[in-house]
């Protein structure tokens, strides 16, 4: 089997605080339209597959020196494996389970995109409207950049080195730099795009990002352990190993505005609920989900590209099955969520180690081959 190379770990530079004042809104703060509904996953564990997964995880955890991991496999809409491995904290002896809270890094962007598309579905946010319609403080050079272009990393705004403490400081710093390309002509993955997405959501909803997501997305779906900050007792500890020395880590925001970009935490149970809601068109209707998964600015020759909050590719060539993925890396944690819309298949892996040698893509690829007989070269895409 051909194993794809590891995903590029995405170091989040800018965070958001849920208690920060929401961006000024020029739209109603009410939330018209249908609310998200709970989509409880169907579970029928496959013990034979679980034994194969156990063997793969045992081998990969030794190879990659992973303290702990949580893993779910969904096949045809049914959860067939949902399990924790290793330790919540290295040396602590306690195994994580499906209710253990892990930080997910830039996988947060995919969750934020689902929230933003919820507002689009309600008519509170327009994908092809200039973002400045909702955020009048944006610089003049950005006035034509659309909401869709920020969601698709096609704004042309580059990532700056440094960690501004506030939205205002970040805006002033980024505003002074020229666009790296004309908005909408290509993509360039940056964390700042999702700092803007978070502010857009605050403006459209009239509420702080985390409050809106908790009230209108996570809680209705039953994702009660997803959010920021992570305060649960059943919490995994992050780890890093450099030059043979282990160090415990937990992601700590250094700004007040970038949680949508990479500072959410969640559980395996909640991620499986999210997949069920996406697959059944519960959180987003079919048309809105299709808009989320449409490559932008254009589909690549091999049948994939950047979409809103995720990356896509295809198994079996341009007309093969669509594969949607998002990876993440936060201090001490790495994650990868891969699903095949319309098939009901998904593999979710989160580990409590970050850094060189961590290959969540390798684990997901091996699990996908074991569960679905698919070779997911698609995971070579940076997420």
Q: What is the pLDDT of residues 270-321, one digit of tens each?
A: 999 999 999 999 999 999 999 999 999 976 555 578 999 999 999 877 778 9
- Separation CA 161–CA 252 (nearest Å): 17
The label of the residue with tokens 């290295």 reads: 90
Q: Which pLDDT value is given to residue 382?
A: 41
pLDDT of 371 > 60? The answer is: yes
What is the model's pTM? Answer: 0.90
Residue 290 lies in a domain: no
Say if residues 239 and 248 touch (Cβ distance below 8 Å): yes
Residue 133 lies in a domain: yes
CATH number, position 363: 3.40.710.10
Which whole-number Å values give the CA distances from 3 to 6, 180, 241, 310, 363, in the listed order? 9, 33, 24, 21, 9
Residue 217 lies in a domain: yes
pLDDT band for 1, please (50, 70, 90 cuts).
very low
Query: Would you call 289 helix, strand, or coil by DSSP?
Result: helix
pLDDT band for 254, please (50, 70, 90 cuts).
low
The label of the residue with tokens 């949508």 reads: 260
- Separation CA 130–CA 275 (nearest Å): 30
Mean pLDDT, to the nearest integer, of 174-201? 94
Q: Which pLDDT value is given to residue 5?
A: 39
Q: CB neighbours of 168 closer than 8 A, spacing ≥ 6?
A: none
* Domain boundaries, position 203: 45-280+359-380
- Separation CA 126–CA 119 (nearest Å): 8
Q: Which pLDDT value is given to residue 303?
A: 57
Token output for 373: 């007989």
- Separation CA 86–CA 364 (nearest Å): 17
In tens, the pLDDT along 22-78 reads 454 444 444 444 456 777 899 999 999 999 999 999 999 999 999 999 999 999 999
- Separation CA 333–CA 359 (nearest Å): 12
Q: Which pLDDT value is given to residue 163?
A: 76
Going by C-alpha positions, the residue among 333, 13, 336 that lies closest to residue 195 is 13
- Separation CA 169–CA 137 (nearest Å): 12
Residue 339 lies in a domain: no
Residue 164 lies in a domain: yes
pLDDT of 18 > 70? The answer is: no
85, containing H or E segment: strand 78-86
Query: Would you call 372 helix, strand, or coil by DSSP?
Result: helix
What is the β-pairing status of strands 333-340 and 321-330?
antiparallel
Residue 316 lies in a domain: no
Q: What percent of the chain has pLDDT over 70?
A: 86
pLDDT of 258 > 90? The answer is: no
Residue 337 lies in a domain: no
Going by C-alpha positions, the residue among 187, 7, 223, 20 that lies closest to residue 115 is 223
Count of structural domains within the chain: 1
- Separation CA 236–CA 247 (nearest Å): 14
- Separation CA 214–CA 222 (nearest Å): 10
The label of the residue with tokens 């996570």 reads: 218
| Better pLDDT: 217 or 3 | 217
In tens, the pLDDT along 133-182 reads 999 999 999 999 999 999 999 999 998 757 788 999 989 989 888 999 99
Q: CB neighbours of 217 closer than 8 A, spacing ≥ 6?
A: 36, 111, 114, 115, 118, 223, 283
pLDDT of 363 > 90? The answer is: yes
In tens, the pLDDT along 74-121 reads 999 999 999 999 999 999 999 999 999 999 999 999 999 999 999 999
The label of the residue with tokens 């925001």 reads: 253
Residue 237 lies in a domain: yes
pLDDT of 3 > 80? The answer is: no
Mean pLDDT of the chain: 88
- Separation CA 355–CA 353 (nearest Å): 7
């Amino acid at each position: 089997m051909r194993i794809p190379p590891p995903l590029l770990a995405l170091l989040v530079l800018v965070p958001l605080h849920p208690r920060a004042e929401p961006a000024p809104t020029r739209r109603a703060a009410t939330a018209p339209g249908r609310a998200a509904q709970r989509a409880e996953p169907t579970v029928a564990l496959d013990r034979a597959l679980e034994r194969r997964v156990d063997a793969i995880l045992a081998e990969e955890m030794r190879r990659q020196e992973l303290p702990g991991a949580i893993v779910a496999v969904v096949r045809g809409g049914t959860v067939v494996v949902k399990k924790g491995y290793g330790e919540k904290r290295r040396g602590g002896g306690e195994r994580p389970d499906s209710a253990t809270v892990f930080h997910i890094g830039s996988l947060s962007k995919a969750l934020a995109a689902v929230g933003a598309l919820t507002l689009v579905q309600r008519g509170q946010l327009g994908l092809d409207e200039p973002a400045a319609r909702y955020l009048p403080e944006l610089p003049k050079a950005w006035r034509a950049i659309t909401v869709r272009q920020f969601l698709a990393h096609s704004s042309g705004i580059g990532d700056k080195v440094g960690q501004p403490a506030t939205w205002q400081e970040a805006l002033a710093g980024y505003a002074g730099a020229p666009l790296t390309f004309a908005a909408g002509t290509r993509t360039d993955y940056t964390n700042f795009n999702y700092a803007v997405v978070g502010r857009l959501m605050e403006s459209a909803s009239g509420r702080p990002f985390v409050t809106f997501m908790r009230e209108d997305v996570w809680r209705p779906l039953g994702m009660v352990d997803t959010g920021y900050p992570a305060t649960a007792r059943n919490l995994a500890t992050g780890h890093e190993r450099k030059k043979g020395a282990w160090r415990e880590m937990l992601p700590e925001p250094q700004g007040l505005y970038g949680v949508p970009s990479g500072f959410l935490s969640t559980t395996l149970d909640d991620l499986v609920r999210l997949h069920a809601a996406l697959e059944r068109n519960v959180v987003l209707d079919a048309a809105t989900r299709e808009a989320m998964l449409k490559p932008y600015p254009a589909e690549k020759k091999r049948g994939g590209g950047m979409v809103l909050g995720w990356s896509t590719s295809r198994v079996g060539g341009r007309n093969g099955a669509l594969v949607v993925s998002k990876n993440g890396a936060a201090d001490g944690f790495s994650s990868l969520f891969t699903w095949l819309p319309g098939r009901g298949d998904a593999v979710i892996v989160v580990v409590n180690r970050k850094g060189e040698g961590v290959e969540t893509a390798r684990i997901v690829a091996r699990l996908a081959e074991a569960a679905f007989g698919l070779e997911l070269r698609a995971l070579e895409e940076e997420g």
